């Protein structure tokens, strides 16, 4: 199909250019951060409005559809699109084969979804979600078609393109969703908004990247892509299962209303993950791949990324946990106060997710996808075994507390061991997080004093966030120039 050197394979990714200009990484990080800030603020504002129009049961129905979509997306293109980031030559050489595999797998998965939707919805305690599941999961077909183009933007650090695409998606999704919600379409409004926004994103991505989905097939490339991608797809499916088994358990044991409250808490706890982790992950895999053969450089880069992530995500998670009740009632109203019981524990999970997602990218860049798969498998097994006890013990609070305990006691140490076995020194990682941890401890003392002096309210939220944030910022301010040393 192509004129490539027949001896060139994905495994030769160690020949990737190692000299990526630091300015290019910084610009990509800046645009990625800008994209994420606008996107998450827009999503948060939309969520606040929808929470006052819809009821917890609507969010519970939509949560069932999200779980189904997440399962499909986790294995949609069998992990082959990530090979575009590590491919040593022109990624357009393998794009047709990647596209063929992606489109074929997405079509088969959607067919499976269509027939399984009724039983799946019933199992999660929301039989009325069948139609919403079938509608929302059409997004998997769009994802399959755009897999190659999306990874091409990551390889080339083209975060300006992602900014245009994602902001256009946000505007259209928000407009459609809010309009339908106000017209009393319930959970359907959330599904239609997401689907229409994704369709627009696909068109813009194809146009801006100039990589339209042109299927093709090269048997040799396909074998290499599958060998590389299947372990990643397995790991991604396990990541999905790990992050969604709590929804399955909550919905099946506690019902749609409890699931809606839990979903709102999880969305809030994920805000730091989505806000900061996504920014780094859009450039981290490509950055790690370019220094994968130099232990000192990859250790230094991992330490810098870790410091940036912890310096930004840790204080936000801490504030959300310490001020859970005033945060929920101020943003969403008192009807959602029950979400605070879960939020205070889910933020702990949020911190662990930030760390493990960075470790995941690091291990994948080093060509160790199977190691990540085993880590995720162990995490999932423990969750399946213990989360039901949490649900029976104390409802959504019990589920979230058990989830946080497993993450801290088992998962975080396991990922730390996996990373240090690649030659990264533990003391380097501890030094990377030292100042953010100290700042967070000081901030916690201030917020606890505010909680002692005031009642849960918008005033408590404002005082705690302002005073605690000021103390934290003063502590971590010396780290402000760290991003200049990336690359």
Looking at every residue in the chain, the average pLDDT score rounds to 81
Model pLDDT, residue 5: 36
- Counting Cβ atoms within 10 Å, is residue 157 exposed (0-12), middle (13-18) or buried (19+)? buried
Is pLDDT larger for residue 251 or for residue 406? 406
End-to-end CA distance of the chain: 35
Average pLDDT for 273-277? 77
Asked which of 159-173, 178-192, 386-400 is least confident by mean pLDDT, the reply is 159-173
Tokens of 348: 């702990």
- The 3-state secondary structure of 430-447 reads HHHHHHHHHHHHHHHHHH
pLDDT in tens, 286-302: 788 777 778 888 888 89
Q: What is the total residue count of the chain? A: 487
Listed in sequence order, the residues at least 6 apart from 484 whose beta carbon sits closer than 8 Å to its beta carbon are: 22, 26
In a 3-state reduction of DSSP, which class is residue 212?
coil
pLDDT in tens, 41-79: 777 777 777 877 887 888 888 888 888 887 787 777 666
pLDDT in tens, 421-434: 998 999 999 999 99
Residue 409 pLDDT grade (very low, low, confident, very high; cuts 50, 70, 90): very high
Model pLDDT, residue 31: 65
pLDDT in tens, 92-147: 667 777 778 888 888 898 999 999 999 988 888 788 889 999 999 999 898 888 87
Share of residues in the chain with pLDDT > 70 (%):
80
Whether 169 has a pLDDT exceeding 90, the answer reads no
Model pLDDT, residue 271: 81
Instruction: Write the DSSP string, 157-206.
Output: T-HHHHHHHHHHHHHHHHHHHHHHHHTT-THHHHHHHHHHHHHHHHHHHH
Model pLDDT, residue 435: 93
Whether 84 has a pLDDT exceeding 70, the answer reads no
């Amino acid at each position: 199909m192509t004129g490539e050197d027949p001896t060139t394979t994905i495994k030769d990714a160690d020949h990737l250019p190692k000299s990526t200009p630091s300015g290019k990484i910084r610009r990509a990080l800046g645009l990625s951060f800008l994209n994420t800030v606008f996107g998450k603020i827009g999503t948060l504002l939309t969520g606040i409005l929808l929470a006052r129009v819809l009821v917890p049961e609507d969010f519970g129905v939509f949560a069932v559809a999200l779980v189904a979509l997440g399962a499909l997306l986790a294995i949609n293109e069998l992990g082959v699109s990530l090979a575009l980031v590590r491919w040593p030559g022109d990624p357009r050489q393998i794009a047709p084969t990647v596209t063929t595999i992606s489109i074929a797998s997405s079509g088969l998965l959607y067919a499976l979804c269509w027939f399984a939707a009724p039983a799946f919805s019933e199992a999660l305690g929301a039989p009325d979600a069948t139609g919403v599941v079938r509608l929302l999961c059409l997004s998997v077909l769009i994802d399959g078609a755009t897999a190659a183009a999306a990874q091409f933007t990551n390889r080339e650090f083209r975060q300006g393109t992602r900014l245009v695409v994602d902001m256009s998606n946000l505007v259209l999704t928000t407009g459609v969703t809010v309009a339908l919600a106000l017209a009393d379409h319930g959970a359907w409004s959330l599904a239609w908004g997401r689907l229409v926004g994704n369709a627009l994103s696909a068109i813009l991505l194809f146009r801006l990247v100039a990589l339209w989905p042109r299927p093709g097939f090269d048997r040799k490339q396909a074998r290499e892509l599958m060998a590389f991608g299947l372990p990643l797809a397995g790991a991604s499916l396990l990541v999905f299962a790990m992050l969604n088994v709590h929804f399955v358990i909550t919905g099946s044991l506690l019902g749609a209303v409890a699931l809606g409250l839990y979903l709102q808490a999880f969305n809030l706890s994920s805000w730091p993950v989505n806000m900061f982790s996504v920014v780094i992950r859009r450039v981290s895999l490509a950055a790690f791949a370019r220094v994968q053969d130099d232990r000192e450089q990859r250790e230094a880069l991992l330490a810098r990324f870790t410091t940036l992530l912890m310096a930004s995500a840790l204080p936000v998670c801490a504030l959300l946990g310490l001020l859970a009740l005033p945060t929920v009632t101020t943003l969403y109203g008192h009807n959602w106060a029950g979400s605070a019981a879960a939020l205070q524990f889910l933020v702990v999970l949020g911190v662990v997710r930030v760390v493990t997602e960075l470790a995941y990218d690091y291990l994948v860049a080093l060509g160790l996808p199977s190691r990540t798969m085993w880590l995720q498998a162990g995490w999932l097994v423990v969750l399946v075994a213990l989360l039901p006890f949490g649900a029976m013990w104390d409802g959504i609070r019990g589920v979230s507390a058990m989830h946080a305990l497993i993450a801290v006691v088992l998962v975080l140490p396991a990922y730390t061991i996996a990373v240090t076995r690649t030659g990264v020194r533990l003391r380097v990682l501890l030094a990377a997080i030292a100042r953010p941890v100290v700042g967070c401890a000081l901030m916690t003392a201030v917020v606890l004093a505010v909680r002692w002096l005031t009642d849960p309210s918008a005033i408590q939220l404002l005082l705690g966030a302002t005073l605690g944030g000021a103390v934290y910022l003063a502590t971590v301010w010396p780290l402000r120039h760290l991003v200049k040393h990336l690359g």
